[in-house]
């Protein structure tokens, strides 16, 4: 039986041709990269050694090679304009299920802030000597944590989280929307009046209730204070 004659591979399928083609493509790609990156950016070796390369103009080209920061979003929000003075009507913290009416509060003879009537535990007090909702300055809202009859309006205030909204409706029909910045607990013995009640340039809100340990003789040892700032009006 005559053995079959082995067919010879076409030249374009030989190993030598594939190697030559790969070498040619590599050379072309390197040339393109050098052309595109030939404006002073550091090479891979320079970046690896951490050295700075400087152009003739004196710029640090390593900084030029870093990814540029994205342009600010067109939807970036700007602080809302403060509202004119208008009496507060109600306070809503949806996160805590609070939607309470507001009563005006003043100062006692001892120059201390009054509290809402003890027989109205679901009522929020608003210091009438401070800013009204959305107005420039520091607005103060206070309420009971509990009373003899049970939980009061701000029973869960200490659990509010930063970023949550607080809405204050005004007599003129508008609503000031504040966003919580932080929540802090201060001992009453060393309460930081300036930090809590001090004046501010932008519209801010402080929501205050009792906290800490409770004693039948002296009451609660601390105050819970929510710090928030105006982020919207509607």
CATH topology of domain 88-233: Sortase; Chain: A; (2.40.260)
pLDDT in tens, 102-124: 999 999 888 888 889 989 999 99
pLDDT in tens, 123-171: 999 999 999 999 999 999 999 999 888 899 999 999 999 999 999 999 9
CB crowding 80-103: b at 16 or more within 10 Å, else e: bebbeebebbbbbbeebebebebe
pLDDT in the model for residue 14? 63
pLDDT in tens, 187-228: 988 888 899 999 898 999 999 999 988 888 888 889 999 999
Output the CA angle 115-105-147, nearest 5 degrees.
Answer: 20
pLDDT in the model for residue 128? 94
pLDDT of 27 over the 60 cut? no
Q: Where in the chain is the domain with CATH 2.40.260.10?
A: 88-233
Global pTM reads 0.66
């Amino acid at each position: 039986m005559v053995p079959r004659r082995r067919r010879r591979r076409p030249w374009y399928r030989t190993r030598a041709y594939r190697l030559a083609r790969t070498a040619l493509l590599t050379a072309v790609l390197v040339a393109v990269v050098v052309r595109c990156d030939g404006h002073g950016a550091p090479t891979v070796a320079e970046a690896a050694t951490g050295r700075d390369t400087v152009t003739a103009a004196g710029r640090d080209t390593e900084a030029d090679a870093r990814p540029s920061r994205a342009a600010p979003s067109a939807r970036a929000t700007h602080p809302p304009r403060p509202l004119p003075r208008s009496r507060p009507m109600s306070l809503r913290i949806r996160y805590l299920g609070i939607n309470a009416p507001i009563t005006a509060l003043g100062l006692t003879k001892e120059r201390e802030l009054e509290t809402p009537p003890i027989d109205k535990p679901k009522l929020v007090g608003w210091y009438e000597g401070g800013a009204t909702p959305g107005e420039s300055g520091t607005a103060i809202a206070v309420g009971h944590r509990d009373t003899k009859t049970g939980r009061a309006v701000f029973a869960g205030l200490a659990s509010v989280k930063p970023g949550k909204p607080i809405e204050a409706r005004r007599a003129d029909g508008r609503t000031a929307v504040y966003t919580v910045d932080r929540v802090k607990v201060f001992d009453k013995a060393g309460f930081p009046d300036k930090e809590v009640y001090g004046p501010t340039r932008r519209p801010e809100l402080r929501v205050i209730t009792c906290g800490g340990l409770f004693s039948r003789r002296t009451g609660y040892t601390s105050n819970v204070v929510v710090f928030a700032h105006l982020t919207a009006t509607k």
